[in-house]
Amino acid sequence: MNHSNIKSHDQGKTNGQMNCPNCEQPIAVTFESLLVAGKLVCKNDECNTVLQLNRANSGVAINAIKTLKSRLSDLGH
Amino acid sequence: MADFDLMELISAPIIAMNEAESDNAARFVELLNEFAFRKNEDTGESVLEKLKFSFDRVDPDGQTRTQNVEIPLIHFLPIGGIAIDQATLNYALKLDPQGDTDPNGKLRLKGRLADSSEKETGLSGNVNIEIKLKQIDLPQGVLSMLETTQSATVQTEKEKAPQEPLPIIPDDFVSAQLLELAPRYIEAGQDNMTTILFEFDDAVLTNQSHIDFELSSWPKSALEFEDKNTFSMTRRGKQQIQFLASPIIDEYSSKTDIKLRILARVRAADGDIKEQQISIFLPRSKDAETPALNLSKDK
Report the side by side order of strands in the sheet with B93-101.
Answer: B4-5, B107-113, B93-101
Shortest Cα–Cα distance, B75 to chain A (Å): 6
Mean pLDDT (chain B) is 75
- The residue that leads in pLDDT, A64 or B228, is A64
Instruction: Evaluate whether B19 touches B11 at the Cβ level (below 8 Å).
Output: no
Domain of A31? 3-74
Searching chain A, which residue's CA lies closest to the CA of residue B138? A5
CB contact under 8 A, A4 and B24: yes
Q: What's the pLDDT tens digit per position in B78-95?
A: 766 667 788 888 777 777
Is pTM beyond 0.90 here? Answer: no
Per-residue confidence (pLDDT) for residue B10, from 0 to 100: 79
Instruction: Evaluate whether A70 touches A2 at the Cβ level (below 8 Å).
Output: no
- Can you list the domains of chain B with their CATH numbers? 4-46+70-152 (no CATH), 174-298 (2.60.40.10)
Q: Which residues of B touch A3 (CB under 8 A)?
A: 27, 31
Q: Tell me whether strands B107-113 and B64-72 are parallel, antiparallel or unpaired.
A: unpaired
Q: Is B271 left (phi over 0), alpha (psi -120 to 50) or beta?
A: left
Taking the C-alpha atoms of residue B232 and residue A31, their distance in angstroms, rounded to an integer, is 47
In Å, what is the CA distance from B13 to each residue of A27, B6, B24, B89, B129? 43, 12, 16, 8, 9
CB atoms within 10 A of CB A50: 15
Best mutation target, B31, B55, B75, B143, to test chain A (most A CBs within 10 A): B55
Best mutation target, A3, A6, A52, to test chain B (most B CBs within 10 A): A6
Nearest to B278 by CA among B218, B232, B193: B218
Chain B, 50-89: which have a CB under 8 Å from a chain A CB? 50-57, 67-69, 71, 73, 75-82
Residue B122 in this model has a pLDDT that exceeds 60 = no
Q: Does B22 touch chain A (CB under 8 A)?
A: no
